[in-house]
Structure 1
Amino acid sequence: MSPRLPWLGCLLVTVAACQRPPPEEGAQPLPRVRVAPVAPGQAVRGLRVTGLLSALPGREVRLAPPVPGRLSLLRVAEGDRVRAGEVLAQVDLGPATAELQQAEATLKEATSALEAAREKRARTDVLVDRGVAARQDAEQDRSAEAAARSAETRARSALELARRGVGRTALQAPFDGVVTTVWVRQGEMVDASTPAVVQVSATDPLELRAFVTQQEAAALRPGQRASLRVEGLAGAREGEVTAVAPAVDALSGNVGVRLRFANPRDDLRLGGAAWAHVVLEDLGAALAVPSSALLPQEDGGVAVARVADGRVHTVPVRIVSEDEGRAVIQGPLAVGDPVVVEGGYSLPDDAGVEVLR
Structure 2
Amino acid sequence: MNAVLPTLIRSAVVATAVFSAALLAACSRSGAETAAAPAVRPVIAQTVVAGGRDRIERYSGEVHARYEAPIAFRIDGKISHRAVGIGDRVKAGQVLATLDPSDATMNAAGAQAAVTAATSQRDVARLQRDRIAALRDRALVSQAQLDQANDTLKAAEAALQQARQQLGVRENQVRYATLAAEHDGIITTQDAEAGQVVAAGQRVFGLAWSDEREVHIAVPESRVGALRDAAALDVTLWAQPGRRYTGTLRELSAAADPQSRTFLAKVAIADAGADVQLQMSADVAVTSSGNGAAVVLPASALFHQDAQPAVWIVDAHDRLALRKVEVARYLDDGVAITAGIAAGDRVVTRGVHTLHEGDAVRIVELPFQPTVAER
TM-score (norm 2): 0.56
Deviation at 1:54, TM superposition (A): 4.4
**CA–CA separation in structure 2 for the residues paired with 1:262 and 1:175:** 23
In the other structure, the counterpart of 2:216 is: 209
Counterpart Cα distance in 2 of 1:93 and 1:222:
55
Using the TM superposition, give the Cα deviation of residue 70 of structure 1 relative to its aligned residue in structure 2, in angstroms.
Answer: 3.0
1:182 aligns with 2:186: no
Q: Is it true that 1:164 corresponds to 2:169 in the alignment?
A: no
Residue identity matched to 2:54:
R
In 2, the alpha carbon distance for the partners of 1:132 and 1:65 equals 60
**Distance change (3 Å), C-alpha of 1:69 and 1:209:** closer
1:124 shift after superposition: 0.7
Tell whether 2:46 aligns with 1:48: no
TM-score under structure 1 length normalisation: 0.59
Count of residue pairs brought into register by the alignment: 247
Which of 225, 228, 252 is residue 235 of structure 2 equivalent to?
228
d(CA) in 1 for partners of 2:201, 2:225: 43
1:241 aligns with 2:249: yes
The change in CA–CA distance for 1:70 and 1:160 in structure 2 (over 3 A counts) is same
Report whether the alignment pairs 1:145 with 2:153: yes
SS in 2 for 1:236: strand
> What SS is found at the alignment partner of 2:84?
coil
Distance 1:77 1:263, change over 3 A: farther
Q: What are the residue-to-residue correspondences of 1:19-168 with 2, within 5 Å?
A: 45=54, 47-55=56-64, 59-168=67-176
User: Any idea what the Cα deviations from partners look like across 1:272-316, whole Å, max 9, x if unmatched?
Assistant: 331123354498xxxxxxxxxxxxxxx8789xxxxxxxxxxxxxx
C-alpha deviations, 1:210-253, integer Å up to 9, x for none?
23454533233279642211122242222211233444556556
Report if the CA contact (8 A) 1:223-1:241 is conserved: no
RMSD (Å) for aligned C-alpha atoms: 3.5
**Segment of structure 1 superposing worse, 125-134 or 239-248:** 239-248
List per-residue Cα deviations over 1:132-170 (Å, max 9, x = no partner).
223332122122112211210110110110121112111
Query: What residue in structure 2 maps to residue 272 of structure 1?
Result: 280
* 1:199 paired to 2:206: yes
Task: After superposition, give the CA deviation of every residue in 1:96-135 in whole Å (9 maximum; x if it has no partner).
Answer: 1222222222212212321221222122112111112233
Equivalent pair of 1:52/1:271 in contact (CA under 8 Å): no
Distance 1:214 1:191, change over 3 A: closer
Instruction: Find the aligned partners of 2:77 and 2:101 in 1 and give their Cα distance.
Output: 8
Helix, strand or coil for the counterpart of 2:238?
coil
CA distance in 1, matches of 2:118, 2:85: 46
Q: Distance in 2 between matches of 1:229 and 1:90?
A: 40
Match of 2:322 in 1: none
Say which structure is richer in helix: 2
Shift of 1:176: 2.9
SS in 1 for 2:243: coil
- The one-character-per-residue Cα deviations of 1:182-237 (angstroms, maximum 9, x if unpaired) are 23333x04232894322223463233222345453323327964221112224222
Partner of 1:33: none
Whether contact under 8 Å (1:180, 1:200) holds in the other structure is yes
- Structure 2: gaps (5+ residues): 1-52, 292-364
Alignment partner of 2:182: what SS? coil
Is the contact made by 1:223 and 1:242 (CA closer than 8 Å) also made in structure 2?
no
Distance 1:179 1:61 in 2: 10
**Higher mean C-alpha displacement, 267-276 vs 125-134:** 267-276
Gaps of 5+ in 1: 1-43, 284-298, 303-319, 321-357
CA separation of 1:259 and 1:156: change in aligned 2, threshold 3 A: same
Check the 8 A contact 2:72/2:201 in 1, yes or no.
yes
Question: Residues of 2 paired with 1:262 and 1:114: CA distance?
Answer: 64
